[in-house]
Structure 1
Amino acid sequence: MNASGLCDICGKPDVDHVCDRCGRLVCERHYDDGHGVCTECATELGLGDEHVDPDDLPNDVDIYRF
């Protein structure tokens, strides 16, 4: 689905998807095609992989530990 606006997660243009769960407008990078949800919802639901992209971390943070 093509939508207009900015990605609700990273703020970049070229939004391509709408999350089926929360309705966020997200870019290809922040959409889980297999589940039809954004990466935020996929994380909340325990879906997807455990890989953390360094570009998604705030400045001056090297890794998240839970």
Structure 2
Amino acid sequence: MSVSGLCQICESRPAQERCDNCGTLACMEHYERGMGLCADCVARADPGRDSDDVDVHRF
């Protein structure tokens, strides 16, 4: 999928994917390709998931 703009999570890297769940534009650091979800949706989908398992960086 072709997307343009900045990642809506880190707001610093170019977005390369769009979350299948919420439509958020995400860079590869904040997108779980196997699930088709942004890091925020991955964290919500599995609240027990250790934060080390999701590569989320907030600034």
> Partner of 2:15 in structure 1?
15
> Partner of 2:26 in structure 1?
26
Instruction: Find the structure with the greater CA-based Rg.
Output: 1
Moved over 6 A (4+): none
Matched-pair contact (CA < 8 Å) for 1:2–1:15: no
Q: TM-score with structure 1 length normalisation? A: 0.71
Q: Which runs of 5+ in 2 are unaligned?
A: none
Q: Which runs of 5+ in 1 are unaligned?
A: 59-66
Q: Provide the C-alpha distance between the structure 2 equivalents of 1:11 and 1:57, rounded to a whole number of angstroms.
A: 9
State the SS of the aligned residue for 1:41. Answer: helix
Q: C-alpha displacement at 1:34, in angstroms? A: 1.1
Seq. identity, %: 38
Q: C-alpha displacement at 1:56, in angstroms? A: 1.7
Q: Provide the C-alpha distance between the structure 2 equivalents of 1:38 and 1:57, rounded to a whole number of angstroms.
A: 14
Q: TM-score with structure 2 length normalisation? A: 0.78
